[in-house]
């Protein structure tokens, strides 16, 4: 199985920022508008706002777009079953160094534990992955167990924007543009047809919303089984190495 890698995933500036633990690094729209990326916070330990999010997680946790892995590492340190996925090799390597299990893989590719995850995380603006919120929510619904929880970090303003952006540092723009989306909580709720609204809150200048996948109404559906994830990290996006018990 091959991984669909966006143009920025192997960018030297992105990898260098993760190695250094600091920016500057931005998403740049074609009109020149810049969105700062919080590399320092992503590369630090989970802060109190993060810990509150993790306390809300239920069952096994899949962190989509885990970046340098602070959340996966914290969950692993707590003895909880978690897996991070990211399309960036540098991000996966960083996560592994922190002690968090991670795979280099896109959320739109086959993943371990599909249909059995208790919680999926879309933190740090990752609700924008792929530039199509409706498609991303549909994919997350496939990954979650019935009644499973999606926790998203939304933009702190009421925005619903689909754009093409580049990764850029203070010196150069890297690679071809790729699709991205920015959603505030009201926009997320508009896309989340068929989901139950579980919670929304703000802390530390950041905004969050939790959605719950509706349980199947059919009594004939077999009981869901807990996803069991190996802590062995797959360094390459090959399907040859087992990362789930079944």
Determine the pLDDT at residue 8.
46
Rg (CA), the chain: 17
Give the model confidence (pLDDT) of 2-47 as tens digits: 345 554 444 578 888 888 899 899 998 888 889 999 999 999 999 9
pTM of the model: 0.85
Determine the pLDDT at residue 235.
36
Determine the pLDDT at residue 12.
73
What is 46-159+179-213's CATH number? 3.40.50.150
Determine the pLDDT at residue 95.
97
Give the model confidence (pLDDT) of 220-233 as tens digits: 444 444 444 443 33
Determine the pLDDT at residue 174.
63
Mark the ranges of the chain whose per-residue pLDDT is less than 70: 1-11, 170, 172-175, 217-246
How many other C-beta atoms lie within 10 A of the C-beta of residue 3? 16
Please state the domain extents for the chain: 46-159+179-213
Please, is 221 exposed, middle or buried when counting C-beta atoms within 10 Å of its C-beta (0-12, 13-18, 19+)? exposed
Strands in 82-86's sheet, in edge-to-edge order, are 102-104, 82-86, 61-64, 117-122, 144-154, 206-213, 195-203
Determine the pLDDT at residue 104.
97
């Amino acid at each position: 199985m091959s991984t669909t890698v966006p143009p920025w995933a192997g960018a030297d500036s992105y990898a260098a920022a993760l190695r250094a633990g600091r920016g500057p690094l931005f998403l740049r729209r074609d009109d020149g508008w810049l969105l700062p990326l919080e590399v320092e916070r992503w590369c630090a330990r989970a802060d109190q706002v993060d810990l509150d999010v993790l306390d809300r997680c239920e069952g096994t946790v899949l962190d989509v777009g885990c970046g340098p892995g602070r959340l996966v590492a914290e969950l692993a340190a707590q003895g909880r079953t978690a897996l991070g996925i990211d399309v960036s090799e540098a991000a996966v390597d960083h996560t592994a160094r922190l002690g968090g299990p991670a795979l280099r893989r896109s959320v739109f590719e086959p993943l371990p534990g599909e249909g059995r995850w208790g919680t999926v995380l879309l933190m740090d603006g990752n609700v924008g992955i792929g530039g199509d919120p409706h498609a991303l929510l549909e994919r997350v619904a496939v990954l979650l167990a019935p009644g499973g929880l999606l926790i998203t970090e939304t933009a702190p303003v009421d925005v619903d924007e689909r754009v093409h952006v580049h990764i850029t540092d203070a010196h150069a723009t890297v690679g071809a543009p790729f699709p991205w989306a920015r959603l505030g909580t009201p926009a997320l709720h508009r896309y989340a047809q068929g989901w139950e609204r579980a919670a929304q809150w703000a802390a530390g200048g950041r905004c969050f919303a939790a959605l719950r996948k509706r349980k199947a109404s059919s009594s004939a559906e077999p009981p869901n089984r807990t996803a069991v994830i190996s802590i062995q990290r797959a360094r390459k996006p090959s399907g040859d190495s087992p990362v789930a018990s079944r």
